[in-house]
Structures are given as structure tokens and as C-alpha cells.
Chains A and B, each alone.
Chain A
Amino acid sequence: MLKIEKSGRQKTEDRRQKRSGDKFPRRRERIWRWLSTFCLLSPAFCLLLSGCRQDMHDQPKYTPFRPSEFFADGRSERPLVDGTVPRRDLRADPARSDGDSSGGRAFQPDETSAAQTDLAKATTLPFPLTKEVLDRGQERFNISCAPCHSRGGDGDGMVAQRGFRHPPSYHIDRLREAPLGHFYDVMTNGFGAMPSYADQVAPRDRWAIAAYIRALQLSRNATLADVPPAERSKLEEKKQ
């Protein structure tokens, strides 16, 4: 067998050489054989590769929440050291200067709210009230507070219906008379069964929510005299 094959191949090679004048038949053949193997194997190889995650997919860097082997608690995000001060000077923005969820304050707010040494007793916002502030307050209220307090503020939100302690309605006299800062304080420090929302709601948004709660309260006790004259006529038309 071996002999026949050998001589057979010899023959064809001779013939090929004659026809094309090829000087390197053996090398050529080797290239062809290599190419055909490559063609056959490469799809299989690709298949194998696609099953792996290569290094560039998972680079040795920290992305949010990627675990770390370096720190003892296994977290790459490091907690802030107590008393850390953000680099931007927040004193220029009293709405944000009370970023401290523990209630203690590192900064003295500047003159706009100088009188409000105790934020829980503040009766005004530390920034001007505009339509945008109220809209923002409404949006944030519906996200963070409505699950328990319900959108209207009656205290029968979905989570309360599922068995969480029922919060009081915002429309009781005590809360209607509470200063604006009380709402800010409840969000910042929590109140009884209600947890603190300082981590989830930024200080400026907390003020906006407080303003919106005020608006909700007013909406239940508004008289025609509270409506701006332009809108008043529309309402009166409807009444008739």
C-alpha cells in the first residue's frame, strides 16, 4: 500500500511540475494542506473562543459594585470618612449645605437662612419658590413618598395597604399647622416607624417635596378667593 501511494504521488508531482513548471511542489502542497485544515478548524475554534470571556471584557479595574479582594469587607466602593467635606463649597448653596443625614450640621448656612438655625422650625424655603420647584416636588413625592402616603397624602398608599403601619393623613390639623421645616426634618431623620429618606432624596429635593406637601394641604382647603382672577372666572363659569 505504502509503496503504491508513494509512487502514485511521485507520478502526479512529476506531471504537475512538468505542466506548470512549479519549482516547489512540496511546499505548495504543504500550504494547501495547512489552509484546508485551517478552514475546517477555524469555525470550530471560533465557537470555542466565543464561549470564553476574554481579558478585555473583564478588565482588572473597578466598575460600580465590582467586588474587591484588596479590602477586607470585599467592597471596592469605600465609605466616606467621617467629616468628609465635598470639594465644591456648599456654603454658597444653603439648600444643599444641610447634606448631613445625622441632623448635625458642618456648615452655617449663609444669611438667606441665617434665622433658621433649627431647620425643623423653618417656615420658608431656603430658595425661591417657583413652578419648577413645585413640579419637581410633585415628581419626587410620587416616587419616594406615595408608596406609603398615597398620591393625595391621605396615608393609604399601596404599601400601607399591604400591611405597613398606616401613616397619618397630611390633612389633619396638627400637620397642617406644622412648620415647613418639620417635613424636611421627618425626611432627613425619619419619624417613628418611618425611616430616614436622607440617602434617597437630596436636600434640595426634600425642600421641594415639603413645598409640594404644603400645596397638597392647601388644595383641600382652598376657597375661590385663593384662585388667581384669570382662572377664577373659568371656575365660576363651570359652576353655573
Chain B
Amino acid sequence: MPQIFHRSTNTIARVSIFGGLFFLAFLVWALYELQASSYNTRAFVARAQPVQFSHKHHAGDDGIDCRYCHTTVETSAFAGIPPVKTCMNCHSQLFADNAYLAIVRDSFKNDKAIHWTRVHDLPDFAYFNHSIHVNKGVGCSTCHGRVDEMPLTWQVASLQMEWCLECHRAPEKYVRPRDQVFNMDWQPPPDQVEQGKKLVEQYRIQSANVITSCSTCHR
């Protein structure tokens, strides 16, 4: 019987076995990257909102404190989205006939809710609480980025478990003095880790073992 395959096919067969392995590894890597990419987590994608509300104008240019609108951020799990009454504090006079604000006025007059599009949305099986972070010196901009420069709001973090744990394992890399929590311009000092360690002690931040245990966030 004549030889059907040329000798070189031996090599090809071997290479293709290894090639297959590499291809599989590549596939796994590509999938991992894809699920962590902003395409999947929707980070850096500005969401369309029913009203063109701009943090850049309100918090940035006009210097309104986050807590003027997000009133419960220091005291509860939920940061709070302002009721229309809060908008009308100023917009009863400012831009009072502007078409941009037609929905806001209509909502105020007729007691209808505005349906804001959620930007950050953890799955319901994960528990998050603003008050503990804010009171232990984690600033808004650490997690939300420069909100005061966003014309429409987007998220800057993946909000994946890996991201939470990255900080819970070593909070000293991120904590800042409590009076800087609402300061959007804050930059970590060059000796952040040393400063951070002191703050961790001062604010009695619990050990990494405690805050990385599953039941902290899955309860």
C-alpha cells in the first residue's frame, strides 16, 4: 500500500496538537478579557437620561456639594437620587421656561416620577453600603471618578467582585482623610501607603480577613 500521507504530516500533527492547546488558552484569555472589558461592564459609557442633567455644570462649575442632592450618602446604604422638589429649589427661577426642563416641571406639577436610567447597578445578590465607605474615608472619586467633569454620568469602575476585593485586601492604598471625601480634586500624596496605614488605624478599619470574607457582601 502506498503511503497516503507525506512524512511532514507527523510534524504538522504534533504542531496542531500544541497549536490547539495554545488556541484554547488564547480563547480562555480572550473570554476573560472580554468579560472584564468595558464592553461587558459598560464602564465609560455615558447613559442617556430623560433629562440632560449635567454634573459638570452643577457640581463642577457651580460647586454644589454632592450632599445637596445625594442627601443620604453619609447615613444609609443608598446614596439617594434627588426628588424633583430639589431641582425646583433652583429651577423655579433658573431656566424656568427652558425646554430642557419641561419633564422636570411636568413631574413637579403632576406628581409624576422621572425615570432616571441607572448607571451603577450591582446584582441583587451583592450588598453594598455607602455610609460605611464614606465614613471610613473612601472618597466618591475613588469609586466614581471625576463626576464633576461628566456632562452625562458614566461609571469608571468595572463594579466586578475583583474590583471590590482589590481595595478590601489593601484599603490603605485608597483611604483619605474624612474631610476630603467629597473633594473631587483630591490626589493621593506620594506616601499614600504610609498615610493610609495611619488612617486605617485611626478609623479602625477592620482587617482584610473580615472584609474579604464572602458574607460581608453576600448576605
Cα A144 to Cα B81 with chains together (Å): 16
A199 / chain B contacts, CB cutoff of 8 Å: 83, 85-86
**B31 an interface residue at 8 Å Cβ cutoff?**
yes
- Per-position 1/0 for A46-86, Cβ under 8 A of B: 11001001001111010111010000011100000000000
Counting CB contacts under 8 A, is B210 at the interface?
Answer: no
Establish whether residues B94 and A164, one from each chain, have CB atoms under 8 Å apart when the complex forms: yes
| Beta-carbon contact of A158 and B62 below 8 Å | yes
Neighbouring B residues of A158 by C-beta, 8 Å:
62-64
Query: How many Å lie between the Cα of A66 and that of B28 in the bound state?
Result: 36
Residues of A within 8 A of B40 (CB): 50
B124 touches A57 (CB 8 A): yes
61-111 of chain B: CB within 8 A of chain A: 62-65, 67-68, 71, 78, 81, 83, 85-86, 88-90, 92-94, 111
Write the nearest CB–CB distance from A82 to chain B, whole angstroms.
16
Q: Determine if A147 and B63 form an interchain contact, defined as CB atoms under 8 angstroms apart.
A: yes
Asked if A115 lies at the interface with its beta carbon under 8 angstroms from chain B, I say no
B94 near A74: Cβ-Cβ < 8 Å: no
Residue in A57, A75, A163 whose beta carbon sits within 8 Å of that of B125 in the complex: A57
B86 contacts A193, C-beta separation under 8 Å = no
Smallest beta-carbon distance B200→chain A, Å = 24
B207 contacts the other chain (CB 8 A): no
The reply on B49 being an interface residue by CB < 8 A is no
Provide the main secondary structure of the chain A interface: loop
Within 8 A of B (CB), among A157-173: 158-159, 162-165
Residues of A within 8 A of B85 (CB): 195, 199
Interface residue SS majority, chain B: loop
When C-beta atoms are compared, the residue in chain B nearest to A53 turns out to be: B123
Q: How far is the CA of A46 from the CA of B193 in the complex (A)?
A: 39
A142 within 8 A of partner (CB):
yes
What separation, in Å, do the CA atoms of A36 and B109 have in the docked complex? 63
Are B124's CB and A75's CB within 8 A? no
A163 touches B71 (CB 8 A): no
Q: Is A43 an interface residue (CB 8 A)?
A: yes
* Residue B113 interfacial (CB < 8 Å): yes
| A56 to B122 CA separation, bound complex (whole angstroms) | 11
| Given A75-B113, A199-B83, A56 contacting B93 (CB threshold 8 A) | no
Q: A59-B125, A158-B62, A158-B63 are in contact. Are A47 and B31 (CB under 8 A)?
A: yes
Do B88 and A195 have beta carbons less than 8 Å apart?
Answer: yes
Taking CB atoms, residues of chain B closer than 8 Å to A35 are none
User: A143, B78: Cβ atoms under 8 Å?
Assistant: no
Give the shortest distance, in Å, between B118 (CB) and chain A (any CB): 9
- Residues of chain A with a CB closer than 8 A to B93's CB: 163-165, 193
What chain B residues lie within 8 Å of A63 (beta carbons)? 124
* A57, A61, A200, most chain B CB atoms within 10 A: A200
Q: Please tell me if the beta carbons of B68 and A144 are within 8 angstroms of each other in the complex.
A: yes
> What is B's interface to A at a CB cutoff of 8 Å?
24, 27-28, 31, 34-35, 40, 62-65, 67-68, 71, 78, 81, 83, 85-86, 88-90, 92-94, 111, 113, 115, 123-125
In the complex, given contacts A43-B28, A67-B113, A200-B68, what are 13 additional A-B residue pairs having Cβ atoms less than 8 angstroms apart?
A47-B34, A56-B124, A67-B115, A75-B113, A143-B65, A147-B64, A147-B68, A159-B62, A162-B62, A164-B93, A164-B94, A193-B92, A200-B71
Q: Using a CB–CB distance below 8 Å, which chain A residues touch chain B? A: 39, 43, 46-47, 50, 53, 56-59, 61, 63-65, 67, 73-75, 142-144, 147, 158-159, 162-165, 193, 195, 199-200
Q: Can you list 15 A-B contacts (CB < 8 A)? A: A50-B40, A53-B123, A58-B123, A58-B124, A147-B62, A147-B68, A158-B63, A158-B64, A164-B94, A165-B93, A193-B92, A195-B92, A199-B85, A200-B68, A200-B71
